[in-house]
Amino acid sequence: MKEKCITNDNIRNFIDVFYQKVRKNNELGPIFLEAIGNNDEAWKPHLQKMYDFWSSIMLGSGLYHGNPLQKHRMLPYFDIERFDNWLELFAECAQELFVPEIAKQFIEKSQRIANNLKNCLYFSPK
């Protein structure tokens, strides 16, 4: 049964399911595995940041404290097309786990965030 509301618990589940798919993805997996590591213990801090980030974005919880742009600037270069891969996988996962209205909210927010990151990383001076 798909989730009909947004809670911290179902955000956590969504992030866990999503990043399991990311780790297995041929395009995204290598980027994330290089940046984070390839074992579950190495992923715990990143996942916690993502729980807090999406809780702050979707619920206004204020749990996230960080600078996503700076974190992405610290990564080794990757093709801009990987953002599209990420967005496709994110949307697929949101649609699997949430009713359409909620999935749409996640997808729209993710697209805005990704577009902002792409503009700052690839089209603006550092």
pLDDT per residue rounded down to tens, the chain (126 residues): 999 999 999 999 999 999 999 999 999 999 999 999 999 999 999 999 999 999 999 999 999 999 999 999 988 889 999 999 999 999 999 999 999 999 999 999 999 999 999 999 999 865
Residue 25 lies in a domain: yes
Residue 2 lies in a domain: no
> CATH code at 115?
1.10.490.10
Residue 116 lies in a domain: yes
- Of 52, 40, 64, 59, whose CA–CA distance to 15 is shortest? 52
> Strand, helix or coil at 7?
coil
| Domains: count for the chain | 1
How many other C-beta atoms can be found within 10 angstroms of the C-beta atom of residue 126? 5
User: What are the DSSP calls for 23-87, one per residue?
Assistant: HH-TTTHHHHHHHH-SSHHHHHHHHHHHHHHHHHHHH------S-HHHHHHTSPP--THHHHHHH
Tell me which residue range forms the domain holding 101: 8-123
Residue 3 lies in a domain: no
